[in-house]
């Protein structure tokens, strides 16, 4: 599991579609899809329902999303804390 994968999950959830998440992450759609698929494979759960007009988090996806946001927030706070030392 990588920070890139966590950021990808958050972006997909907030944007509601892989294409919009890719745009937000300054990527194309294939790498975003690969990141999500690799994470789902690692976790052994489907994080999103694929819908005709976008993506919606599954129950597992919603639970994971709260962890992803907490982890990303902790990383950001650590960066900010260290930045104040310099």
- Which domains, and CATH codes, for the chain? 3-83 (1.10.10.10)
47 neighbors 57 (Cβ within 8 angstroms):
yes
The pTM (predicted TM-score) of the whole model is: 0.92
**Bridge partners of residue 57, in order along the sequence:** 48
Residue 73 scores a pLDDT above 70: yes
Average pLDDT over residues 34-49: 97
Residue 44 scores a pLDDT above 70: yes
Q: How far apart are CA 65 and CA 74, in angstroms?
A: 14
Please report the pLDDT score of residue 85 as a whole number.
Answer: 73
80 neighbors 40 (Cβ within 8 angstroms):
no
Band (pLDDT 50/70/90 cuts) for residue 86 is low
| Percent of residues, the chain, with pLDDT higher than 70 | 99
Average pLDDT over residues 65-85: 94
**In the structure encoding, which two tokens stand for residue 49, read together?**
């329902």
Average pLDDT over residues 35-45: 97
Instruction: Give how far the C-alpha of residue 43 lies from the chain's centroid of Cα atoms, to the nearest Å.
Output: 13
Residue 30 scores a pLDDT above 90: yes
- What three-state secondary structure class fits 27? coil
């Amino acid at each position: 599991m990588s920070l890139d994968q966590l950021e990808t999950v958050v972006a997909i959830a907030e944007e509601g579609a892989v294409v919009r998440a890719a745009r937000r992450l300054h990527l194309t759609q294939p790498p975003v899809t690969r990141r999500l698929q690799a994470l789902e494979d690692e976790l052994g759960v489907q994080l999103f329902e694929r819908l005709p007009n976008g993506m919606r988090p599954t129950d597992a996806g919603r639970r994971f999303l709260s962890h992803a946001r907490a982890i990303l927030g902790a990383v950001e706070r650590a960066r900010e804390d260290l930045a104040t030392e310099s």
